[in-house]
């Protein structure tokens, strides 16, 4: 049943120290930025490319990418991937967009003739 038991990684304690990397609470801020994704509520006038360029300049990183273009007049969720996480952009681009609008009628329509 367990013929390769000696080759398995067996966890025998609650905390297994890792030879590489950091625990989340001790991870330096540079690592968060290097592998980070920002979930941004894009304002209504700048384009998605402008917002991504602002983030690139503010964080002083080499690569940024976004998960799909929102129209300039539209607000909404824009995922911005930074440096190493830009590899994940393609997996997020197929998610699609959904536009939600609110219509307010000032008076009742009465009977509407059908076409």
Catalytic residues: 71
CA distances from 49 to 14, 53, 57, 71, 90 (A): 45, 6, 12, 10, 16
Residues contacting 61, CB < 8 A, separation 6+: 33, 34, 82, 83
Distance in angstroms (rounded) separating the CA atoms of residues 68 and 36: 17
Q: Confirm if 83 and 35 have CB atoms less than 8 A apart.
A: yes
Residues contacting 97, CB < 8 A, separation 6+: 68, 70, 76
């Amino acid at each position: 049943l367990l013929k390769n038991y000696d080759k398995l990684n067996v966890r025998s304690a609650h905390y297994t120290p890792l030879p590489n990397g950091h625990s989340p609470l001790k991870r330096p801020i540079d690592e968060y930025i290097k592998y980070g994704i920002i979930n941004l509520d894009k304002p209504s006038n700048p384009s998605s490319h402008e917002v991504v360029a602002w983030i690139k300049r503010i964080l002083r990183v080499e690569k940024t990418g976004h998960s799909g273009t929102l129209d300039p007049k539209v607000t909404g969720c824009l995922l911005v991937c930074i440096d190493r996480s830009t590899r994940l952009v393609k997996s997020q681009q197929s998610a699609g967009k959904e536009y939600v609008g609110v219509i307010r009628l000032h008076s009742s329509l009465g009977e509407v003739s059908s076409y």
